[in-house]
Amino acid sequence: MNGSDGSLSATLAGVANTLNSNATRAASEAGQVLTAVPGQQQALLLLVGAHRVLGDAAAARAVLESMADKQPQLASVHYELGLLLGGEGHRGKAIKHLSRVVELEPNHPAAWRALGMQLALEGDAAGAGRAFARQVRLSVKELKLLEDATAGSEEDVAKAENMLRQCLAINPTDVLAMRMLAQRETWLGRYREAASLLHHALRIAPDYAEARQDYAFVLQQEMKWQDAIGQLDIILSGDPDNAACLSFKAWNLLMLGEFDAAFALFDAVRPGMENELSYWVNYGHALRTVGRREEAIGAYRKCLELDPGFGLIWWSLANLKTYRFSDSNIASMEAELQREDLPDEHRCHIEFALGKAREDARAFAASFEHYHRGNSVRRRRILHNPGELTSRVAKSKALFTREFFRARAGLGCASPDPIFIVGMPRAGSTLIEQILASHSAIEGTMELPDIPAIVADLRNRKAGLGYPEIVAELDGATLRALGEHYLELTRYQRKLDRPYFTDKAPLNFQHVGLIHLILPNAKIIDARRHPLGCCFSGYKQCFQMGSMPHTYDLAEIARYYRNYVELMAHFDAVLPGRVHRVFHESMVENPEVETRRLLAYCGVPFEPACLRFYESNRAVRTSSSEQVRRPISAEGVESWKSYEPWLQPMIAELGDVLDVYPSVPAF
């Protein structure tokens, strides 16, 4: 290190990044900086942060006390020392240093909060009250600045994010900045990044309940419901009557299939949550999941009484598919769109809801315009590389050859239990799942997150070797262990003790090669629908933020469909007969013929109940829940034709995949 500003800044940035993953290494690197540049403030704070993460409070305190003596004007030093002393129970000394912080920096909300906590522990209720009041005023101001920035232009959003990252570069243990940056990442649908930030904040400040609740929400969005409950239980251990956390826990129990426990909890907390929007949102979704449609509508209407601009609820009503908006509903939504202060996410959901309302009224030009606006709002917010899947398809085709599979025949876990339903979203996969789940030998679960979790773990195993290339490195024992691990991960969803179960995560089509290797006896069903019917249905579906980033642009969703068809055609060629394909149009036209073929592929005898799938009272945790509670209908199969004049970008991108459907072109 030559000590130049550029070199030093780069080195310190590297140490700050390392702190998130390897605190021991970060401490060593910060020490090297201090050897070269004695007394460098940011390096000292990074060293302290590393010691705190490692649990070496004595070393952290020694560094801070030395800095406080030599540079008493540095508020950040007194802040860190005050936090550390408070954590060790030295309240008098902590109050002294934290008081010095707010003397030097009166607008430091986290310092006021920490000071308030120490004063409260000392019994100074009046002083604590003043400190907390100051902290709340300042925090609200900071959060409002961030909210304003994220509601503004892309340039404003980038400035807000840069501001937070600079705060963390200067003070890497600023948990308030971590939480605010995590909220920004959550807003963008970047849940993995948000989870990392919040996990790190909680290692530093385990009592930061607000950050822990944010962490639980992010884990829920990642479909890690058991982990989310674990975080909520930590909060509830100190605040057992926290109705918001209990309501939140109820939703996660529902997603784990614990329906009785979930509704018992919803009922228990309702008296204290009558006017809480979050309760009625979760409760409405829960009621819809178990088929209590009218009660779900009632819960959604309660939400709109509390906040008529809450776009998610208007979309939730539209997403019932069978709900029809009244003229007054439409007028209310249009009025909300006129608000200049309406957040983008609410605007997006209302545009999609109005698209559905105008579609039901057969006003297709107006309907398409609303769908287009909603997609445009969402597309601006997401980071999506349309070429990523194209690249993965090329790599998969190069790796997964006949010879590759032949060399690994007989490896993996021999269990025949899983039935994977893959394909594009909105292609009829929920209908297939409902038919199969009506069979006495098959349990329907949901879109399980476990194959993507295994893929994420594989990506992290060996630096420089990506996915799917790393699959070539896996030996027979590892392939078998991964199959067994998948069965263990999914066990919590199996409640009925049936021999087979479904995993209806459509984007698992990207991982057919891996699935075949780790579970060679599992069934794989490809749900396919007409290219324009499937793509446009995806375009007008407002998916959860971050889950289907390819669906917000006509050309991008068509390119994605084309990549999907190409990859599945490759597996048809190298693994003939391995994948059973169900064309949605054929299922609608000849349900008994297609159902018998489907059951024969799964190795189970035909049962008439599978044709009466709509009589099942099982919970359905997808956007098609209402549709599969009715008999099969041709309604909607060709609904895309009403929008054909506006679908030219989609048609052009699909090319010969559209021209030869249901056959596939030679890629």
**Residue 346 token pair:** 């609410």
> To 10 degrees, the CA torsion angle through 624, 629, 633, 638?
-10
**Residues in CB range of 503: below 8 A, 6 or more apart:** 418, 419, 420, 421, 445, 447, 448, 450, 451, 490
Same domain, 482 and 540: yes
Domain-embedded: residue 477: yes
Three-state secondary structure string covering 616-661: CCCCCCCCCCCHHHCCCCCCCCCHHHHHHHHCHHHHHHHCHHHHCC
pLDDT value for 235: 93
**Residues in CB range of 88: below 8 A, 6 or more apart:** 57, 61
What's the gap between Cα 98 and its chain centre? 37
Domain-embedded: residue 646: no
Q: Running DSSP on this structure, what letter comes out for residue 124? A: -
Residue-number span of the structural domain to which 580 is assigned: 393-634
Same domain, 208 and 124: no
Same domain, 325 and 444: no
371: closest CA among 346, 342, 339, 349? 349
pLDDT value for 206: 75
What's the gap between Cα 333 and its chain centre? 27
236 vs 245: CA distance, rounded Å: 7
What's the gap between Cα 542 and its chain centre? 14
Reduced to 3 states, what is the DSSP secondary structure of residue 321? coil
Domain-embedded: residue 665: no
653 vs 490: CA distance, rounded Å: 37
Residue recorded with tokens 């072109």:
665
E strand or H helix that includes residue 528: strand 523-528
Same domain, 78 and 220: no
**What DSSP string runs through 185-254?**
HHHTT-HHHHHHHHHHHHHH-TT-HHHHHHHHHHHHHTT-HHHHHHHHHHHHHH-TT-HHHHHHHHHHHH
Helix spans in 73-224 (H): 75-87, 91-104, 109-121, 125-150, 154-170, 175-187, 191-204, 209-221
CATH at residue 437: 3.40.50.300
Q: Do 279 and 247 touch, CB atoms closer than 8 A?
A: yes
Same domain, 323 and 261: yes
Angle at 461 between CA 459 and CA 463, to 5 degrees: 80
20: closest CA among 207, 147, 249, 193? 193
Residue recorded with tokens 């228990």:
268
The last residue of a domain, from among 170, 205, 229: 170
Same domain, 508 and 412: yes
- Report the number of distinct structural domains present in the chain: 3
648 vs 654: CA distance, rounded Å: 10
Domain-embedded: residue 77: yes
Same domain, 320 and 426: no
What's the gap between Cα 383 and its chain centre? 14
Same domain, 189 and 300: yes
**Residues in CB range of 20: below 8 A, 6 or more apart:** 196, 200
Half-sphere exposure of 644 (CA within 13 A, CB side): 5
Same domain, 82 and 152: yes
**Residues in CB range of 174: below 8 A, 6 or more apart:** 110, 167, 168
> How large is the greatest C-alpha to C-alpha distance in the chain, in angstroms?
84
Domain-embedded: residue 655: no
Reduced to 3 states, what is the DSSP secondary structure of residue 581? strand
Same domain, 464 and 546: yes
Q: Running DSSP on this structure, what letter comes out for residue 416? A: -
Reduced to 3 states, what is the DSSP secondary structure of residue 502? strand
CATH at residue 156: 1.25.40.10
What's the gap between Cα 524 and its chain centre? 25
pLDDT value for 487: 97
Domain-embedded: residue 659: no
- 418-423 and 500-503 beta bridge pairing: parallel
pLDDT value for 133: 59
The last residue of a domain, from among 359, 381, 403: 381
Domain-embedded: residue 656: no
pLDDT value for 30: 84
Same domain, 80 and 108: yes
Q: Running DSSP on this structure, what letter comes out for residue 145? A: H
The last residue of a domain, from among 318, 351, 381: 381
For 317-353, b/e burial (b = at least 16 CB within 10 A) is bbbbeebebeeebbebbeebbeeeebebbbbbbbbbb
pLDDT value for 665: 95
pLDDT value for 627: 53
**Residue 365 token pair:** 């030009």
168: closest CA among 255, 254, 46? 46
Q: Which residues in the chain land under pLDDT 70? A: 1-6, 38-39, 125, 129, 132-133, 135-137, 139-158, 160, 167, 170-175, 204-205, 463, 617-630, 633-636
Same domain, 510 and 578: yes
Domain-embedded: residue 592: yes
